[in-house]
Amino acid sequence: MSEPVPDPYARLRAATRARIGLGRAGDALPTSALLDFQAAHSAARDAVHGVVDFDALERELAPRASLRLRSQADDRTTYLRRPDRGRRVLPGDLARLETHRGDWDLLIVVADGLSAAAVQTHAVPLIEALTSRLGGLRLAPVVFAEQARVAIGDELGETLGAELVAVLIGERPGLSVADSLGVYLSWRPRIGCPDSLRNCVSNIHGHGLSYAQAADTLVWLIHEARRRRLTGVTLKLDRQTERSLENGRREAADPES
């Protein structure tokens, strides 16, 4: 009887969720790998076509003030086929926002994007982690935007008079993660703002950035954006700052370390 052959890919699979060395059964994938792939594909499709329960999110966020609005995409099909409509606010809803215009330091927008599961699971915990670190900043009411894309934050920030806008949005799902949340930060948002003037913190999910890691990074970006009066490609988190943030989290978790 021959000795079992060690799996040469075991070490690599232990370090990543990517599909590595799946093996084969004849000319095809093993059944277990094929079923796993099909399940991941189904989860991704469900994330894109899912519906965020914004009523539940509002209840979870209470008593923090929040507002609801819709984009110009009437339904999911239009949202997917016409990205431009997801970037603008429905005119009737936009008019309601005028009464909330103020001298805000930060506006937080929650947009469904391409993963309902990400927004449903991670948006409120991340907002709580972020706002608990912001000190005395003047925060506008949180806006929940349906059928919305990142750029809808530009029109909202401009309308509400916010100096900074942070758009929390469900990221395009892949075959390893279907519930990843991203955050896009823009200084002095305005309609037509190019993506090069935004900063993005992505991969916030159970196997990616934790809420504390994402919140610490966002707080650093927010303070630096206010100090330098900009966001975008010229505002970057360097390795030294990353290490400093990580050390701060360790000390907070274990003050005697």
Residue appearing with tokens 């806006």: 143
Instruction: Give yes or no for a contact between 97 and 67, defined as CB atoms under 8 angstroms apart.
Output: yes
Read out DSSP for 221-239?
HHHHHHHHT--STT----H
Report d(CA 135, CA 116) in Å as an integer.
30
Report d(CA 78, CA 189) in Å as an integer.
25
Q: In this structure, what token pair is assigned to residue 83?
A: 């990205």
The answer to the question of whether 200 is labelled as a binding residue is: yes
Angle at 5 between CA 3 and CA 11, to 5 degrees: 145
The distance in angstroms from the start CA to the end CA of the chain is: 53
CA-to-CA dists, residue 43 to 21, 175, 206, 218, angstroms: 22, 8, 15, 28
Report d(CA 255, CA 245) in Å as an integer.
15
Q: Which amino acid is at 83?
A: P
The answer to the question of whether 110 is labelled as a binding residue is: no
Residue appearing with tokens 């948006």: 123
The answer to the question of whether 150 is labelled as a binding residue is: yes
Binding residues: 150, 171, 200
Binding residues for adenosylcob(III)alamin: 150, 171, 200
